[in-house]
Amino acid sequence: MRLYELSEQYQTLLDMACDDPTNEQLQEMINGLEGKIEEKIENTIKVVRSLDVEAKAIKDEEDRLKARRTSIENNATRLKENVETLMKRMELDKVKGQLFTISLQSNPPKVVVLDEFYIPQKYFVTPQPVPQLQKKDIIEAWKQGKEIPGVQVVQEKSLRVR
């Protein structure tokens, strides 16, 4: 019998008891039913506690696996950086293996701001509260061979594995 069913029966018996409170048999049934409800409530709380413990165990395992995943990802990143550094140092642009081709490819050029004070105003968008540097315009000018004071355009290489 479910807890809500016991609750309904209990309420029915209480209603009957209100009609004839001197009926001893009715009082005994009520007392027996109260014990059942108390047991059901206690057993329900036992199940709740078990579920809480199981949920905590799962969360602990998730945390452990997350830490392990992070460690493995960091190891992979560090090894990849080591290969990239070695290839740059040895001036190798490409290594062709049986399974992989590892190469250093040029990234798109990027603007490094050295000193905003020296950058010409034509490279800023000014209708905004804080003028924004138009890096695309600087890169285009750099591609045309112009040098812009206050900035440096760099083109780095990064490791690619295919």
- Find, among 117, 118, 114, 120, the residue nearest to 141 by Cα: 120
DSSP code per residue over 89-135 = HTT--EEE-SS-EEEEEEPPPEEEES-GGGS-GGGEE-SSSS-EE-H
* Residue ranges making up the domain that contains 9: 3-89
Q: Which pairing describes strands 101-106 and 94-96: parallel, antiparallel, or unpaired?
A: antiparallel
- Find, among 149, 101, 98, the residue nearest to 122 by Cα: 149
**pLDDT on residue 62:** 98
Residues 112 and 140 in one domain: yes
Find the mean pLDDT for residues 38-66.
88
- The total of structural domains in the chain comes to 2
Last residue of one domain, picked from the residues 89, 119, 143: 89
CA angle 53, 57, 58 (to 5 degrees): 120
Residues 16 and 78 in one domain: yes
**pLDDT on residue 95:** 96
CB contact burial 143-162 (16+ within 10 A = b; e otherwise): eeeeebeebebeeeeebeee
Residues 81 and 32 in one domain: yes
Find the mean pLDDT for residues 35-51.
77
pTM: 0.57
- Find, among 66, 79, 73, the residue nearest to 161 by Cα: 79
Find the mean pLDDT for residues 90-115.
94
Residues 82 and 99 in one domain: no
- CA 152/CA 154 separation, integer angstroms: 6
